C-alpha cells in the first residue's frame, strides 16, 4: 500500500528548539556537500571576514590572529577551500582574559564549510573571545584559503544535558523524523546514533502472554505498548545502530608501526577470560566506560537529520578520537513498497596512525530486540531470482561464534523477525559477509521486563567489509532499513538493487573495484 509521506521533526520538550513537536517549518537550503544536504534556519553572523591565504608544505604550520568577540554564541562556521588536510586548534579567552580554553578541529580538502558546536560538554560557559587559530598541515600540501568565520547560537540548548551521568534516555537529546508508517529516532547524547526505530499506524504492538513478550501486528495477551514499539536495543553505548571502525593495533604488536597505546577490553563477556589489548576503535555512541562521544554538528529539517561526531575510543576511558563520523538519515516513500529508511555514513580519520591491517569492519553495527529473534536471509548461489530464503531461530552468541553466526548473504540483506516473519530488514549494497547472533537470548519478562529495547539480551548483526581504515581520506557507504514482512522487504531491496544502488567506496577499499 502506498502512503502519503508526512515527515516531521519531533523534539524533546526541553530542547529549546524552534518547535516543540510536529512538522518543522521550511528552512533555507544549505548546499555544502560536507553537511549531507541537511537544512536549518540558524542565522549566522560574520565575526571575521578579512580573508587569508596560505600555501602549506607538508607538516607546515600557520597562526591566524582573529581577535573576535563571540560572547555566548556556541556555533561556529568556517567558509574555506583547501588542497590539504589541516589539524587546527581554536584558542579562546574570557572578557577579562583570565579564563582560557581551546578546541581542536580538522578541515578536510573535500569540503568547503565546517561547523562545530562550541563547548559541547558545557564546561566553559563564560562569554568568549576567539583570539587565534593555529593550523598544521597533516595531509598533503597546497593552497588553503579562509574566507570568513561566522557564529550563531545553536537551537539546541546543550546546557540542559547531564553528560556525566549515563542516562541515555534524556528526552532533550532525542531527535526524530517521522513518516506515515515509520518513526526514526537518533540520540544526540549517543553521538547521533539510532536508538529508536518503530512502525506507526500499522497495528504493531508489544504484548505478553504466559510471561513471554511478543512484538508484531496483532497482540498476544496483555498489551503494553501499541503503535510505537522501539525495535532497537539501546542498553548501552555499544549497542544501537551505529558506526564503529577498527584501526591500528599499536603497541600490541611486537614491532609497533605508530605510537598508539592500546586499551583493554573483555571481548567475550566472560570474567574468567583475560582482557584483550584492543585496537584503535572509534565508536559513535561512546566507550565501554559509558563516556559519551562529542557531538560536533547537528542539522535537521522536515525530512532528514544530519549529525557529525568525534567518537570515543571504545576500550579506553574518556578518550575522544581525532575521527569524524557523519550520518545523514532520511525516510523515503517508495511508490510501490512504501516507506523505508536510508542512512548515509561518512568517515574521516585524522589520527595519522598506520592502519595497515585489513580486517572485518562493521557496516554498520546493528543491535535489535529479542522478540524479533529469528534471522532470515538468502544464502543461495542465484541472488535476486526469488530463491528460497534461510531461517534460523536458534542462533547463539556471535563471539567466537560458529559457522551459523558467520555466513554469506548473497543478496546483501538480513532480517530479524517474529514468528510471522515480520520485523526489520537491513540491506547494505555490495556487502555479502555477515556476522550475526543473539546475546543471552530470552523473550521472558523475567529477563527483559517489559522494555526489550533497554534489556541486556539482544540480537546483533554486522555486515562486514574487509579493509584497512584509511587515514585522512574520507569514505562513505549507505544502508537501508525496512519494517515489513520479509517478502515485502526483500522486494524493496531487489528494487533498489535493480536501480543500481551501490557502495563504491567499500568496493574500492576492499580492492574489488579500481
pLDDT tens column, 5-23:
223 333 332 222 222 222 2
User: What pLDDT was estimated at residue 36?
Assistant: 34
Return the residue matching grid coordinates 590539504: 84
CB atoms within 10 A of CB 159: 10
Return the minimum-mean-pLDDT range out of 268-272, 330-334, 429-433, 473-477: 268-272
Cα distance between residue 365 and residue 236, in whole Å: 13
Position 427 confidence tier, pLDDT thresholds 50, 70, 90? very high
Q: Which three cell numbers stand for residue 245?
A: 571502525
> What is the maximum span of the chain, computed from C-alpha positions, in angstroms?
72
| pLDDT average, residue stretch 242-254 | 97
User: What pLDDT was estimated at residue 13?
Assistant: 23
pLDDT, the chain, mean: 90
Q: pLDDT of 259-272, one tens digit each?
A: 999 999 998 778 88
| pLDDT average, residue stretch 286-302 | 92
Greater model confidence, 156 or 496? 496
User: What pLDDT was estimated at residue 257?
Assistant: 96
Q: Which three cell numbers stand for residue 101?
A: 580554553
Cα distance between residue 458 and residue 367, in whole Å: 6
Residue 507 has φ and ψ, to the nearest 5°, of: -60, -40
Q: Which three cell numbers stand for residue 78?
A: 568556517
Cα distance between residue 484 and residue 338, in whole Å: 10
Cα distance between residue 229 and residue 206, in whole Å: 6
| pLDDT average, residue stretch 238-244 | 95
User: What pLDDT was estimated at residue 30?
Assistant: 33
Q: Report CA Rg, the chain.
A: 23
User: What pLDDT was estimated at residue 514?
Assistant: 52
Return the minimum-mean-pLDDT range out of 27-41, 59-73, 404-418, 440-454: 27-41
Cα distance between residue 324 and residue 21, in whole Å: 29
Q: pLDDT of 378-424, one tens digit each?
A: 999 999 999 999 999 999 999 888 889 999 999 999 999 999 999 99
User: What pLDDT was estimated at residue 169?
Assistant: 67
Q: pLDDT of 18-39, one tens digit each?
A: 222 222 223 233 333 333 333 4
Greater model confidence, 5 or 506? 506
User: What pLDDT was estimated at residue 158?
Assistant: 86
DSSP-assigned states of every residue in 465-507:
EEEPPPSS--EEEEEEEEEEEHHHHHHHHHHHHHTT---HHHH
User: What pLDDT was estimated at residue 40?
Assistant: 60
Q: Which SS3 state, helix, strand or coil, does residue 348 take?
A: strand
Considering Cα of 434, then 344, then 158, then 315, what sign does the dihedral take? positive
Domain borders along the chain are 45-152, 234-509
- H/E element holding 508? helix 504-509
User: What pLDDT was estimated at residue 160?
Assistant: 80
Contact 359, 245 (CB under 8 A): no
Level-2 CATH architecture, domain 45-152: Sandwich (2.60)
Does this model's pTM top 0.85? My answer is yes
Position 191 pLDDT exceeds 60: yes
Position 52 pLDDT exceeds 60: yes
Contact 12, 303 (CB under 8 A): no
Position 288 confidence tier, pLDDT thresholds 50, 70, 90? very high
User: What pLDDT was estimated at residue 9?
Assistant: 35
Cα distance between residue 307 and residue 351, in whole Å: 20
CB atoms within 10 A of CB 111: 17
Report percent pLDDT > 70 for the chain. 91
Cα distance between residue 21 and residue 296, in whole Å: 24
Torsion angle, alpha carbons of 11, 12, 18, 20, to 10: 90
Q: Which SS3 state, helix, strand or coil, does residue 447 take?
A: helix
Q: For 234-509, which CATH class?
A: mainly beta
Enumerate helices (H) and strands (E) in the chain, giving the number of each: 3, 34
Amino acid at each position: 500500500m502506498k502512503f502519503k509521506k508526512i515527515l516531521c521533526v519531533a523534539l524533546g520538550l526541553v530542547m529549546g528548539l524552534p518547535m516543540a513537536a510536529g512538522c518543522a517549518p521550511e528552512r533555507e537550503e544549505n548546499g555544502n556537500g560536507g553537511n549531507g544536504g541537511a537544512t536549518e534556519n540558524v542565522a549566522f553572523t560574520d565575526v571575521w571576514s578579512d580573508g587569508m591565504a596560505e600555501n602549506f608544505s607538508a607538516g607546515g604550520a600557520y597562526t591566524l590572529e582573529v581577535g573576535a568577540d563571540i560572547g555566548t554564541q556556541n556555533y561556529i562556521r568556517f567558509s574555506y577551500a583547501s588542497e590539504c588536510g589541516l589539524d587546527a586548534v581554536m584558542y579562546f579567552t574570557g572578557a577579562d582574559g583570565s579564563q582560557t580554553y581551546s578546541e581542536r578541529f580538522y578541515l578536510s580538502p573535500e569540503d568547503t564549510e565546517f561547523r562545530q558546536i562550541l563547548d559541547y560538554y558545557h564546561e566553559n560557559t563564560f562569554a568568549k573571545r576567539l583570539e587565534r587559530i593555529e593550523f598544521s598541515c597533516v595531509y598533503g600540501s597546497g593552497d588553503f584559503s579562509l574566507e570568513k568565520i561566522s557564529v550563531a547560537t545553536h537551537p539546541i540548548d546543550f546546557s540542559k544535558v547531564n553528560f556525566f551521568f549515563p542516562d541515555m534516555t534524556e528526552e532533550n537529546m532525542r531527535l526524530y523524523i517521522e513518516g506515515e508508517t515509520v518513526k526514526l529516532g537518533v540520540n544526540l547524547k549517543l553521538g547521533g546514533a539510532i536508538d529508536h526505530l518503530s512502525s506507526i499506524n500499522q497495528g504493531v504492538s508489544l504484548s505478553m502472554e504466559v510471561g513471554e513478550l511478543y512484538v508484531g501486528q496483532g497482540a498476544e495477551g496483555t498489551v503494553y505498548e501499541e503503535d510505537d514499539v522501539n525495535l532497537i536495543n539501546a542498553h548501552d553505548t555499544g549497542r544501537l545502530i551505529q558506526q564503529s571502525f577498527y584501526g591500528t593495533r599499536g603497541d600490541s604488536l611486537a614491532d609497533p608501526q605508530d605510537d598508539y597505546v592500546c586499551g583493554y577490553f573483555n571481548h567475550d563477556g566472560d570474567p574468567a577470560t583475560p582482557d584483550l589489548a584492543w585496537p584503535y576503535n572509534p565508536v559513535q555512541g561512546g566507550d565501554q566506560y559509558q563516556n559519551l562521544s562529542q557531538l560536533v554538528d547537528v542539522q535537521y529539517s522536515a525530512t532528514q537529520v544530519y549529525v557529525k561526531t568525534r567518537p570515543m575510543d571504545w576500550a579506553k576511558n574518556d578518550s575522544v578520537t581525532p575521527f569524524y563520523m557523519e550520518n545523514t538519515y532520511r525516510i523515503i516513500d517508495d511508490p510501490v513498497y512504501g516507506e523505508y529508511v536510508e542512512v548515509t555514513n561518512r568517515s574521516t580519520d585524522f589520527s595519522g596512525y598506520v592502519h595497515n591491517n585489513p580486517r572485518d569492519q562493521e557496516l554498520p553495527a546493528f543491535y535489535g530486540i529479542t522478540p524479533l529473534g529469528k534471522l532470515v536471509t538468502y544464502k543461495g548461489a542465484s541472488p535476486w531470482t526469488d530463491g528460497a530464503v534461510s531461517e534460523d531461530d536458534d542462533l547463539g552468541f556471535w563471539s567466537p561464534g560458529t559457522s551459523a553466526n558467520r555466513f554469506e548473504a548473497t543478496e546483501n540483506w538480513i532480517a530479524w523477525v517474529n514468528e510471522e516473519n515480520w520485523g526489520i530488514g537491513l540491506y547494505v549494497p555490495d556487502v555479502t559477509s555477515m556476522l550475526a547472533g543473539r546475546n543471552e537470548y530470552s523473550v521472558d519478562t523475567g529477563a527483559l521486563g517489559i522494555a526489550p529495547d533497554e534489556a541486556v539480551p539482544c540480537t546483533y548483526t554486522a555486515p562486514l567489509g574487509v579493509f584497512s581504515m584509511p587515514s585522512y581520506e574520507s569514505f562513505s557507504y549507505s544502508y537501508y532499513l525496512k519494517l515489513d514482512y520479509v517478502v515485502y522487504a526483500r522486494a524493496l531491496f531487489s528494487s533498489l538493487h535493480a536501480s543500481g544502488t551501490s557502495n563504491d567506496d567499500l568496493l574500492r577499499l576492499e580492492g574489488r573495484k579500481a
